[in-house]
Chain A
């Protein structure tokens, strides 16, 4: 062979090797408004799969008939401990996960090969109440991540290089971010955690290309702003909480983003009489301007640490026998809320149903849904008070799911758990310190069982018919669950959440357990599903920690046990064995 020919053939061979190696990864497909509004079934382009927050994949190659043949395709150690909560986000075979310690990992979704890794340097003296992250947003040719030191960072989707880095909140005041950003109409939207340290909650929008801040909407109104009449005069609103730490849902038709807001600060209510808008509410924000166009406050003047941050799931369906553009939310406060979203942004109450044992809320107003409280169950100054559900509520941040085929709304609930808080302290705001208002040893040891007796079951995977308001089925667990949900067109619900490290598949129609897998660590992360080259995959991160671990510690104290779930992050991707 001539020298030149040899050279050329070598070049061709190596080029072919490179191409075969990257055969499953074509060029990166930019993520557009059109794609986000109508995502391909084969991809998981955002936190809950679609803008409406369904947590639903229409893929059905994996289904009730064959799910018992689901097996591990590949796994990948993230190299980090602590609670992993982010779903694997997939765009045509490019997979992105985030982990604690402000890390983004890009992987080949079929082979599990690492494409690149980004890790933000976090200040050595940062105090991290929740060292976790709930995922990236995709928009254009960039990947967006928000960090625990309150930055929003744009990375090149293919190379992982930083394109821009914006400071969002005051890290010295312990404003921090754990949520996955929301990408909509040229903007990247984030909220802030930090209700425990008395921040003033907000949602902020940044231009996706430049990183410049476009607007900021505060969840606690200042003097003269709408809703300020629900706070005492003075500075209470400045450290009033109303944190936003779960990704909002979005209706492209009206350009409104629906966010859930956290509880007010501090926890005892004596210093903040009034409804305290817009805490423990959902607010509808105009994505262009950030104006609050409507709201519904699930419960007022919160005293129980019941953040209502889970964003309402947008479902156009029959509720109470009529067609409703619904916003549906399983509240921390133990009620399943069905609301009606108007094009103007106004949000009306339709129905509210108690889904766990509740001794705080006695009833709801039939028209407005406003709860009536048993005031003897309201903690504060003066004496210790017990109440149910617990501080973690009927459901904490783990997201619900909606399946348009089964027409069932799924809730990962915890029942029969209560809390007892001691008499409150005088809470003085100090920047960077807790602004809770109860003796901390009392809070740490506050978990109780309903009636003081160990219940037969705690966790409940519930399936609700929104039209009839009836429970279709409920799978009861003998232990607590921190179980974000995935539901699929194959009539399946996938979730983990238990201290036995299992990841399970349920029949979405009747709750039967069809498959389970022992994971390296407990699973409290959001699962996702995607398809490449005609093959469907189920993907989730294992990695226990954060609040699931705190609740387990509380349960250990009640049971006098020492159950400890091993930590350690692993990306686990499953497919059907041949």
Chain B
């Protein structure tokens, strides 16, 4: 993974994700919200691997239990790590790998956001794009995820756009799919109608 644009475009994601053995297809999803154009060299390398990444509670230290949609109460966010099913270990080398997942009503999501959801569950980078604090506070009245550090607010039903506060960019979105009964990081990027830069 030598392209410097990957690490820098993936704002809020760990340098480790960009540089370690994470599947290139997952990188495509991580970049999906951040890039104006696709990267042709990556498209030719899809399907190189088939590692499945499930999701586990970020606070779990052992007895990792991959999450099912119904493990999440509606409107209650949870910080998780991607979980390498083959290796049986979470990708928790860095705090920056944390994702925030939340189950929300599908009919409230924009079409692009819904296309990245699985069974009503959305996933975004759990690291605020402002100063790196963890975002995990759902404010139901405003339908935003708030960062406790400086009150940046992200509209999760609409690609985690910044609604207010000092955050300069949306949270990176991670497309989910179902792997049997479990939530997984999607192996293919859903089609989208043009990306914000």
Contact between A129 and B133, CB atoms less than 8 A apart: yes
Q: Which of A128, A546, A553 contacts B132 (CB 8 A)?
A: A128
Closest Cβ of chain A to B80, distance in Å, is 16
Q: Contacts A124-B96, A127-B131, A128-B132 known; A550 to B146 CB distance under 8 Å?
A: no
Contact between A131 and B94, CB atoms less than 8 A apart: no
Q: CB-CB contacts of B81-111 with A at 8 A, as 1s and 0s?
A: 0000000000000111000000000000000
Contact between A553 and B15, CB atoms less than 8 A apart: no
Q: CB-CB contacts of A111-144 with B at 8 A, as 1s and 0s?
A: 0000000000000111111010000000000000
Contact between A443 and B166, CB atoms less than 8 A apart: no
**B15, B139, B150: which has the most chain A beta carbons within 10 Å?**
B150
* A275 contacts chain B at the CB level, 8 A cutoff: no
Q: Which of B123-167 contact A (CB under 8 A)?
A: 131-134, 137-139, 146, 148-151, 164-166
Contact between A128 and B133, CB atoms less than 8 A apart: yes
Separation of A516 and B133 alpha carbons in the complex (Å):
37
Closest chain B residue, CB of each to CB of A445: B139
Closest Cβ of chain B to A455, distance in Å, is 22
Closest Cβ of chain B to A522, distance in Å, is 13
Contacts of B14 on A, CB cut-off 8 Å? 124-125
Separation of A40 and B146 alpha carbons in the complex (Å):
48
Question: On chain A, which size bracket covers the interface?
Answer: 20 to 34
Q: Contacts A444-B146, A553-B165 known; A124 to B151 CB distance under 8 Å?
A: no
Contact between A545 and B166, CB atoms less than 8 A apart: yes
Contact between B131 and A553, CB atoms less than 8 A apart: no
Contact between A553 and B151, CB atoms less than 8 A apart: yes
Contact between B150 and A549, CB atoms less than 8 A apart: yes
Contact between A129 and B95, CB atoms less than 8 A apart: no
Q: Contacts A444-B146, A444-B151 known; A127 to B166 CB distance under 8 Å?
A: no
Q: Which of B12-46 contact A (CB under 8 A)?
A: 14-15
Separation of A126 and B14 alpha carbons in the complex (Å):
12
Closest chain B residue, CB of each to CB of A545: B166
Contacts of A128 on B, CB cut-off 8 Å? 131-133, 149
Closest Cβ of chain B to A131, distance in Å, is 5
Closest chain A residue, CB of each to CB of B98: A125
* A235 contacts chain B at the CB level, 8 A cutoff: no
Closest Cβ of chain A to B49, distance in Å, is 26
Closest Cβ of chain A to B81, distance in Å, is 13
Closest chain B residue, CB of each to CB of A125: B95
Separation of A562 and B163 alpha carbons in the complex (Å):
11
Q: CB-CB contacts of A504-530 with B at 8 A, as 1s and 0s?
A: 000000000000000000000000000
Q: What is the size, in residues, of chain B's interface with A at 8 Å between Cβ atoms?
A: 20
Closest Cβ of chain B to A170, distance in Å, is 15
Interface of A: prevailing SS: loop
Contact between A440 and B146, CB atoms less than 8 A apart: yes
Contact between A550 and B150, CB atoms less than 8 A apart: yes
Contacts of A126 on B, CB cut-off 8 Å? 132
Contact between A129 and B149, CB atoms less than 8 A apart: yes
Separation of A550 and B151 alpha carbons in the complex (Å):
7
Q: Which of A82, A440, A545, A549 contacts B137 (CB 8 A)?
A: A440
Q: Which of B15, B151, B164 contacts A562 (CB 8 A)?
A: B164
Contact between B133 and A127, CB atoms less than 8 A apart: yes
* A434 contacts chain B at the CB level, 8 A cutoff: yes
Q: Contacts A125-B94, A127-B132, A128-B133 known; A440 to B148 CB distance under 8 Å?
A: yes
Separation of A184 and B22 alpha carbons in the complex (Å):
52
Contacts of A545 on B, CB cut-off 8 Å? 166
Contact between B146 and A124, CB atoms less than 8 A apart: no
Q: Which of B94, B133, B164 contacts A553 (CB 8 A)?
A: B164
Q: CB-CB contacts of B66-85 with A at 8 A, as 1s and 0s?
A: 00000000000000000000
Contact between B134 and A127, CB atoms less than 8 A apart: yes
Closest chain A residue, CB of each to CB of B97: A125
Contact between B95 and A567, CB atoms less than 8 A apart: no
Separation of A567 and B137 alpha carbons in the complex (Å):
25
Separation of A443 and B150 alpha carbons in the complex (Å):
11
Contacts of B94 on A, CB cut-off 8 Å? 124-125
Separation of A445 and B139 alpha carbons in the complex (Å):
10
Q: Which of A424-461 contact B (CB under 8 A)?
A: 434, 440-441, 443-445
Q: Which of A536-555 contact B (CB under 8 A)?
A: 545-546, 549-550, 553
Q: Which of B96, B139, B165, B166 contacts A125 (CB 8 A)?
A: B96
Separation of A362 and B106 alpha carbons in the complex (Å):
52
Contacts of B133 on A, CB cut-off 8 Å? 127-129
Contacts of B150 on A, CB cut-off 8 Å? 546, 549-550
Closest chain A residue, CB of each to CB of B128: A127
Separation of A546 and B130 alpha carbons in the complex (Å):
11
Q: Which of A131, A434, A441, A562 contacts B146 (CB 8 A)?
A: A441
Q: CB-CB contacts of A558-570 with B at 8 A, as 1s and 0s?
A: 0000100001000
Contacts of B137 on A, CB cut-off 8 Å? 440-441, 444
Contacts of A443 on B, CB cut-off 8 Å? 148
Closest Cβ of chain A to B166, distance in Å, is 6
Closest Cβ of chain A to B156, distance in Å, is 14
Contact between B151 and A131, CB atoms less than 8 A apart: no
Contact between B131 and A131, CB atoms less than 8 A apart: yes
Contacts of A441 on B, CB cut-off 8 Å? 137-139, 146
Contact between A444 and B164, CB atoms less than 8 A apart: no
Contact between B166 and A567, CB atoms less than 8 A apart: yes
Separation of A82 and B95 alpha carbons in the complex (Å):
23
Separation of A219 and B59 alpha carbons in the complex (Å):
31
7 contacts between A and B (CB under 8 A): A127-B132, A131-B131, A434-B148, A444-B146, A445-B139, A553-B151, A556-B164
A binding-site residues for B, Cβ under 8 Å: 82, 124-129, 131, 434, 440-441, 443-445, 545-546, 549-550, 553, 556, 562, 567
**Could you list 17 further interchain pairs (A-B, Cβ under 8 angstroms) beyond the known A440-B148, A546-B150?**
A124-B96, A125-B95, A125-B96, A125-B132, A127-B131, A128-B132, A129-B149, A434-B148, A441-B146, A443-B148, A444-B151, A445-B139, A550-B150, A550-B151, A553-B164, A553-B165, A562-B164
What are the 9 tightest A-B residue pairs by CB atom distance, in nearest-first order? Answer: A128-B131, A440-B148, A125-B95, A440-B137, A553-B151, A441-B139, A125-B96, A127-B133, A441-B137
